[in-house]
Amino acid sequence: MLKSGFDRVYRRLCAAWNVIRWVGVWVSLASVAFAALSYFGFWRHVRGDDLLEALANRLDTSYAANVPRQVRQGEPEWNPLLRVIAAHVDLPKDKTPVVFARAQAVTSAKAEVGEWTAPTTPIYLFFRDWPAPGTEFNEGKDVIKIGTLDDLHQWIKTDDTEFRYFWGTVIFGMLSACVGVFLALPEKRPV
């Protein structure tokens, strides 16, 4: 009776040892994969931050021809854009935005080497389709100012940084815990 109880405990200890070992291996692989994928921009692409960076750069132009300065529902930038905006702006709960747009530049300049648009140029969310010929928009009801071009650039950087910081902390924290468990375990594995 005593021997069978000891055998059960021994088998559970061996099984726990194997589980701990494999959890450590997988957490180690996950930490390396996360770091490598971050380095190569995989997460920026998957989350749409690269699209947002291109949008922000596009909005910084005032003189380039045929450059769209609006984003509508269904466009690739739309969902990442709303994610970033919602993290920094209290949006109305009873309305759904349909268009994001940049206002006419507060100040801009063009030279042979390039162009510059004031970072204080306002950006807006519209809750009705725009431009709708012959209609007026009431600020606060149909359209809200959500910030400036500079705000948008900062929000994109913050979104990327916070994502990498949070998940990096979680994964590397788990890795540290696994190393601690390995160091706490007896040197010899039960045979």
pLDDT tens digits for range 91-104: 888 889 999 999 88
- The residue written with tokens 């021997």 in the block is 3
Question: 28 phi and psi, to 5 degrees?
Answer: -60, -45
Indicate if the pLDDT at residue 112 is higher than 90: no
Q: Is residue 38 part of a domain?
A: yes
β-strand partners of 110: 115
**How far apart are alpha carbons 141 and 156 in whole angstroms?**
26
- For residue 120, give the amino acid letter: T
In DSSP notation, 61-95 reads: -SS-TT---EEETTSTTHHHHHHHHHTTS---SS-
pLDDT at 118: 86
Q: Is residue 175 part of a domain?
A: yes
pLDDT at 81: 95
Q: Which domain holds residue 116?
A: 14-191
In terms of Cβ atoms closer than 10 Å to its own Cβ (0-12, 13-18, 19+), residue 123 is buried
**How far apart are alpha carbons 30 and 24 in whole angstroms?**
10
Q: Which residue has the higher pLDDT, 147 or 191?
A: 147
Candidate from 51-55, 63-67, 83-87, 161-165 with smallest mean pLDDT: 63-67
Q: Is residue 52 part of a domain?
A: yes
Strands, sheet with 122-126, edge to edge from the N-terminal-most edge strand: 70-72, 99-102, 122-126, 143-148
Q: Is residue 99 part of a domain?
A: yes
pLDDT at 2: 55
Residue 117, H or E segment: strand 114-117
Average pLDDT on 110-120 reads 84
Average pLDDT on 63-87 reads 89
pTM: 0.77
How many domains, the chain?
Answer: 1
Question: 121 phi and psi, to 5 degrees?
Answer: -65, 125
Q: Which residue has the higher pLDDT, 51 or 107?
A: 51
pLDDT at 162: 93
The token pair that represents 164 in the structure block: 């990498």
